[in-house]
Amino acid sequence: MLFFIGCSSSTPTLNNTKNLKPLSTEEKLEDFEYMYKILEENYPYFEVNKRMNNLDWLSKKDDYISMIKTTTNDMDFFNTLEKILSELNNGHTDMISKERFSRIKALYEQDRKSNKAWIKKLNDPKVLQRYSFNSNHKNSDLSSSNKDNIIRDNVNTKIFEEGKAAYLSIKSLNSFNIENDFKKILPFLKEIKDYKGLIIDIRGNGGGDTRYWTDNLVPALINEALSSSNYTVYRGGNLTEEFVQCRWNGGYNNFNSISDIDKEKLTNMPKELKDDFKYYCSHITNISPKSPLDFKGKIYLLVDKDVFSSSEAFASFAKSTKFATLIGEKTGGDGIGSDPAIAFLPNSGYIFRFPKEMGLAADGSCNFECKTEPDIIIDATKTSNLKDDKCIQKAIELIN
């Protein structure tokens, strides 16, 4: 189960190829109408956005149309669509820039069978033309080594007190980093396996790939299996089913009708579930030890508001299973589910993405809305001098 980092690029660039005719106003409006309809039928968080931000996105359609009409060129149109999507206030909902397109394509094509619905969209001729992409594109991340996608200095380790407190910081759960990172992480964990406590710092970690922790980090640190449960609910739109079918043969037929969700006895379900959603699915995450290090110390997970997507999934799992004690501030949420759906606009070929499901915690609460509350709430600001860091100070205090 993959999750891409939630943040969009701050200055998206998407230079048009010379043979692309500039979009007319009519074509831009047709593209927006297509986007609006896709989201209206599939997007799960309209009511959450009303509650959290007092913003009714669907009711602002005329405002958005006016914004589209004032765009002067294709890049302006792209940026305006990004502004419109930003009003949904969800880190998995945005336009895909040219730079991100290359990286996403490289990532999904690592497993073509499991990702065929995504790859089909990414390889549409209209999309490839818009993103100036072909198999010989020398500047793309795909045609270069995966090493180009590795984040440098992603992992930092430190000993605070010999025999007592060890520290591991992970900036991103980037899929391309897993192999290299664990060449550093595993020897460090072996070195500190007899320590009283391990501090794992994921503050500022916007996500990446859940396998970073489900298949690698957690299995090395546990001595017995851990299990957690959650749910996903679906609006029932046709586009979403393409991606559901890709990961679960049978599509929505594999899921339960939302009318049956009361039998799960979820106490904190969002009120819109029964009216706006059609299907739900229950999930159990089981993680067993793998080449365990026999670590018997306490684990402390440092979190903040930027912990999102697959790092949020880690925080949620760690708290629910008591794998770790969470220290810091409430997370960013949206960590239950799988990869966002993608769609391309019929005239421009621009790609946008959005969550295809709402993730619910074991009690039925919406993970994006309620997020994960740490066990110990404290100022989560990172400091350059780690020993002055309040989260780290609290963890060391608990270890001692």
**pLDDT tens-digit map of 302-331:** 999 999 999 999 999 999 999 999 999 999
Planar angle of CA 332, 336, 342, nearest 5 degrees: 90
Calculate mean pLDDT across residues 203-219: 97
339 contacts 3 by C-beta, under 8 angstroms: yes
**Is 13 in a helix, a strand, or coil?**
coil
Calculate mean pLDDT across residues 138-158: 73
pLDDT score of 136: 55
Asked whether residue 183 is assigned to any structural domain, the reply reads yes
39 contacts 354 by C-beta, under 8 angstroms: yes
pLDDT at 141 over 60: no
CATH number for 218: 3.90.226.10
pLDDT at 10 over 70: no
Asked whether residue 43 is assigned to any structural domain, the reply reads no
- Counting residues of the chain whose pLDDT is more than 90, the rounded percentage is 87
Edge to edge, the sheet with strand 256-257 lists 256-257, 279-287, 226-234, 358-360
Question: What confidence tens digit (pLDDT) does each residue in 215-244 have?
Answer: 999 999 999 999 999 999 999 999 999 999
pLDDT at 18 over 90: no
**Residue-wise burial string across 96-107, b where 16 or more C-beta atoms lie within 10 A, e elsewhere:** bbbbbbbbbbbb
Q: 210: domain range?
A: 150-235+278-333+371-399
Instruction: Count the domains in the chain.
Output: 1
Backbone φ, ψ for residue 177 (5° rounding): -90, -15
Asked whether residue 79 is assigned to any structural domain, the reply reads no
Alpha helices in the chain (DSSP H): 25-42, 46-53, 61-69, 74-86, 98-108, 116-122, 125-130, 178-191, 211-212, 218-221, 238-247, 273-276, 310-321, 367-370, 390-399
Asked whether residue 225 is assigned to any structural domain, the reply reads yes
Calculate mean pLDDT across residues 249-256: 91
pLDDT at 2 over 90: no
Alpha helices in 192-256 (DSSP H): 211-212, 218-221, 238-247
Q: Where residue 144 falls among pLDDT bands split at 50, 70, 90?
A: low
Planar angle of CA 137, 142, 147, nearest 5 degrees: 125
Q: How much is the pTM?
A: 0.91
Q: Where residue 14 falls among pLDDT bands split at 50, 70, 90?
A: low
Question: What confidence tens digit (pLDDT) does each residue in 158-196 have?
Answer: 999 999 999 999 999 999 999 999 999 999 999 999 999
Please report where in the chains the tokens 């990286």 appear, as a residue: 103
Asked whether residue 329 is assigned to any structural domain, the reply reads yes
pLDDT score of 80: 99
pLDDT score of 140: 46
CA distance 207 to 188: 22
pLDDT score of 326: 99
Calculate mean pLDDT across residues 8-18: 48
pLDDT at 4 over 90: no
Mean pLDDT of the chain: 93
pLDDT score of 147: 74
Comparison of pLDDT for 361 and 387, the residue scoring more: 361
- Counting residues of the chain whose pLDDT is more than 70, the rounded percentage is 92
Question: What confidence tens digit (pLDDT) does each residue in 87-131 have?
Answer: 999 999 999 999 899 999 999 998 998 999 999 999 999 999 999
Asked whether residue 133 is assigned to any structural domain, the reply reads no
pLDDT at 362 over 70: yes
Question: What confidence tens digit (pLDDT) does each residue in 20-68 have?
Answer: 899 999 999 999 999 999 999 999 999 999 999 999 999 999 999 999 9
Please report where in the chains the tokens 């994921």 appear, as a residue: 202
Q: Where residue 145 falls among pLDDT bands split at 50, 70, 90?
A: very low
CA distance 84 to 238: 23
CA distance 121 to 326: 39
User: What single-letter DSSP state applies at residue 51?
Assistant: H
203 contacts 303 by C-beta, under 8 angstroms: yes
